[in-house]
Structure 1
Amino acid sequence: MKQFIIVVLLVLQASFLFAQQEKKFIKKGNELYQQQNYKDAESSYRLSVGKKDKTVEGNFNLGDALYKQKKYAEAGAQFNKIASSSNNKEVLAKAYHNLGNSLLDSKKLEESIAAYKKSLLNNPQDDETRYNLAYAQKKLQQQKQQDKKNKDDKNKDKNKNDKDKKNQDDKNKDKDKKDQDKDKKNQDDKNKDQDKKDQQNGEQPQPNNVSKEDAERMLEALNNDEKQTQDKLKNKKLKGAKVNITKDW
Structure 2
Amino acid sequence: MKIGLYILLLLSTFSFSQEQDKAQLLASKKANDYVFQGNTLIGDDDYVSAEMAYRKAISERPETTEGIYNLGTAYYKSGAYNEALYRLEQAVQTASTKAEKHKVFHNIGNILMKNKQCKEAVEAYKSALRNDPTDNETRYNLGIAKVCAAEQKDQEDQNKDDQENKDDNKDQENEDNKEENKDSKDGDDKEEEKNKDNKEGDDKEDKKDSEDKKEDGKPKDDKEDQGKEGQDKKEEQKPQPQPGQLSPQQIESLLEAMGNQEQKVQEKMNAEKQKGVIIKTDKDW
Pick the TM interval, shorter chain: 0.5 to 0.7
**Counterpart selection for 1:76 from 63, 88, 91:** 88
Misfit runs of 4+, over 6 Å: 11-14
Offset, 1:44: 0.6
SS in 2 for 1:196: helix
**Counterpart selection for 1:177 from 186, 211, 216:** 186
The residue type paired with residue 106 of structure 2 is H
**Counterpart selection for 2:141 from 132, 157, 182:** 132
The answer as to whether partners of 2:68 and 2:87 remain within 8 angstroms in 1 is: no
The residue type paired with residue 75 of structure 1 is R
Percent identity of the aligned residues? Answer: 31
Listed as ranges, the gaps of 5+ residues in structure 1 are 205-249
The answer as to whether partners of 1:76 and 1:102 remain within 8 angstroms in 2 is: no
SS in 2 for 1:114: helix
Shift in CA distance, 49/76, structure 1 to aligned 2, threshold 3 Å: closer
Offset, 1:104: 3.6
The residue type paired with residue 76 of structure 1 is L
Cα distance in structure 2, aligned partners of 1:52 and 1:24:
11
The residue type paired with residue 87 of structure 2 is A
When normalised by structure 1's length, the TM-score is 0.62
Offset, 1:125: 4.5
Partner of 1:228: none
**Counterpart selection for 2:173 from 141, 164, 167:** 164
**Counterpart selection for 2:70 from 61, 72, 96:** 61
The answer as to whether partners of 2:31 and 2:56 remain within 8 angstroms in 1 is: yes
Cα distance in structure 2, aligned partners of 1:60 and 1:172:
67
Q: Describe how 1:111-122 pairs up with structure 2 within 5 A.
A: 111-122=120-131
The residue type paired with residue 79 of structure 1 is A
Cα distance in structure 2, aligned partners of 1:158 and 1:54:
53
Listed as ranges, the gaps of 5+ residues in structure 2 are 1-13, 214-285
Cα distance in structure 2, aligned partners of 1:170 and 1:54:
70
Shift in CA distance, 72/12, structure 1 to aligned 2, threshold 3 Å: closer
How many residue pairs get aligned? The number is 193
The answer as to whether partners of 2:109 and 2:121 remain within 8 angstroms in 1 is: yes
